[in-house]
Amino acid sequence: MTDPAAVERDAAEAASAFAHPAVAPDATATYGEHPDHVVDFYAPRGETQGPAPLVVLLHGGAWRAPYDRQHVTPFADFLARRGFAVANVEYRRGSSLPHQNAEGPVAGRWPETFDDVAAAMDALPGLAADALPQADVRRTVVTGHSAGGHLALWAAARHVLPAGSPWRLPAPPMLRGVVALAPIADFAVAEELGVCGGASAQLLGGADHWDERLPYADPAALLPTGIATAVVQGRDDIVVPQQVAEAYVAAAAKAGEMVGLTLLDAVGHFPLIDPAADACAVVAEEISQLAW
């Protein structure tokens, strides 16, 4: 049973992260025809010298419809105030209506969630050139929180997807690196721990599709990538516990790749995207080390 004090702390951290008002973007572009096929761009704030690195931000929310990109707009603005150009990507999540025998909205859509992230990543260099000329797409770092951390790791691993995958790239993507924040990075461990109510299995379409689709979606199965990767994780996270991140890092090591893991004491799930929290500054520094 989860410690009641930990639950109370998590609720307080979530309330702090969600208390910030949404920040409007400087520009918006579309990468497809669906209403969720949009990217919001945030220009680097203050006096910047020359082009700024581009941070691609993929929001979390267990791939479920009620959680969209709006809740990370304060984080996007925080990064922009740190001198980055930011692209906040929306994508299709699960249905907003509970399915039969489900406790709430089902996580993700197969294959649409992956279709969208792949399409957005492929379109971003051109979109950024038009909407945010300050962005240096040659210095792109992908980051994401929770389910978005999964998508960030996946986006950097498309060149090692199984042959025949519609999302596979012929060569590694042009990225400086990935900074995954409390990511759902190892699906098997996440399911063992019941992360987000079995969201990983729901994303794959349920238990009947688990074995078939896992090699196409699980970051722990898509290694090594050859892309510089860092994971930032709160030690007190009860939403996506640190065992998930540690399992991914161990899988990377077994595959011959080193993934950086920063464990933050007395930090739960939400301070990583909360501009009022010290952990958010740690995240910005991790991005800076890859981008600049």
- The whole-number average pLDDT for the span 245-274 is 98
What residues contact 285, with CB distance under 8 A and at least 6 apart?
Answer: none
Residue predicted with more confidence, 192 or 103: 192
C-alpha distance across the termini of the chain, in Å:
43
Q: What amino acid is encoded at 92 in this protein?
A: R
Is the confidence at residue 262, as pLDDT, over 80? Answer: yes
Q: What amino acid is encoded at 113 in this protein?
A: T
Q: Tell me the pLDDT tens digit for each residue of 1-45.
A: 578 999 999 999 999 999 999 999 999 999 999 999 999 999 999
Residue 203 CA to residue 199 CA, distance in Å, equals 6
Q: Tell me the pLDDT tens digit for each residue of 102-156.
A: 556 889 999 999 999 999 999 999 999 999 999 999 999 999 999 999 999 999 9
Provide the β-strand partners of residue 113: none
In contact, 86 and 57? CB cutoff 8 Å: yes
Confidence at residue 165, expressed as pLDDT on a 0 to 100 scale: 98
Per-residue confidence band for 283, with pLDDT thresholds at 50, 70 and 90: very high
Is the confidence at residue 207, as pLDDT, over 50? Answer: yes
The string over 164-200, giving b where at least 16 C-beta atoms fall within 10 Å of a residue's C-beta and e elsewhere, is ebebebeeebebbbbbbbbbbbbbbbbbeeebbbbbb
Q: Tell me the pLDDT tens digit for each residue of 44-68.
A: 997 767 899 999 999 999 999 999 9
Is the confidence at residue 100, as pLDDT, over 80? Answer: no
Q: Tell me the pLDDT tens digit for each residue of 214-238.
A: 999 999 999 999 999 999 999 999 9
